[in-house]
Amino acid sequence: MTSLLKIVQTASESQISEFFQESAGKWRSQRRYYTLPAGETKEMESIVTINFLEQGCDELQKLAQMHDLPDAGSFFCGAAVAWESTDVLKARKESQGSTLFGAMGNTLCRDRGFAISKPVTAQYYFSNPKTLCLRTEYNGSLFEEELKLIGSKYRTRQTIISRAGEQLMIGQYLEKRMES
């Protein structure tokens, strides 16, 4: 008899795999950060490239080692994300970088956090088949993120960063798929 947990886990594996595959490609990300409670804003634009990662690929094996996982095939899929960001108001390059995501059960493992270069984990769930919700906690901070696919050409994202129960920053993003 198949357990309910196995059915739910298989469904989440299928959903995250489909979400990463649908997100693969090059995106122009326009975002605004609101610092709370003062309300200062920062506008950024990035070019984001997302690649779907198959189970057992070199990148996911490296990520498994970083998380001290015994089985290099622990992740059933993942994504490699690279970005180059510009501060819109100052018209200057702000940052560039990359990160890896590996999906295992309802956990996403990353090679780095938002604000640190150490490996972190996030819990994830889908509020609907096209909306991925993440919850990441480390160093006393909480990062809640929602990524929503809108058709095949748009994504929205929202990130709320909190510390000690107080919201510090909200990031809102509109991402448009770029033609290949």
State the pLDDT confidence band at 48, using cuts at 50, 70 and 90.
very high
State CA 49 to chain mean position distance: 12
Whether the pLDDT of residue 115 is over 90: the answer is no
Element (H, E) at 13: helix 4-23
Write down the pTM of the prediction: 0.88
113 φ, ψ to 5°? -95, 180
pLDDT mean over 24-30: 97
Mention every residue, 6+ apart, whose C-beta is less than 8 A from residue 99.
80, 81, 110, 111, 112
pLDDT mean over 60-88: 91
Contact 161, 167 (CB under 8 A): yes
State the pLDDT confidence band at 180, using cuts at 50, 70 and 90.
low
Work out whether strand 166-177 and strand 92-104 pair parallel, antiparallel, or are unpaired: unpaired
Higher-pLDDT residue of 134, 117: 134
Higher-pLDDT residue of 5, 51: 51
Neighbouring C-alpha atoms within 13 Å toward the C-beta of 37: 1
Distance in angstroms (rounded) separating the CA atoms of residues 90 and 69: 43
% the chain with pLDDT above 90 = 74
Mention every residue, 6+ apart, whose C-beta is less than 8 A from residue 148.
130, 131, 132, 155, 156, 157
The CATH class of the 4-177 domain is mainly beta
pLDDT mean over 121-127: 95
The closest of 166, 39, 34, 23 to 108, measured between CA atoms, is 23
**pLDDT at res. 130:** 96
139 φ, ψ to 5°? 50, 35
Which sign, positive or negative, has the C-alpha torsion 119, 78, 96, 161? negative
Whether the pLDDT of residue 116 is over 70: the answer is yes
Whether the pLDDT of residue 30 is over 50: the answer is yes
State the pLDDT confidence band at 89, using cuts at 50, 70 and 90.
confident
% the chain with pLDDT above 70 = 93
**pLDDT at res. 95:** 84
State the pLDDT confidence band at 11, using cuts at 50, 70 and 90.
low
The closest of 128, 130, 129, 123 to 106, measured between CA atoms, is 123
Distance in angstroms (rounded) separating the CA atoms of residues 66 and 121: 11
Report H helices in 42-148. 58-66
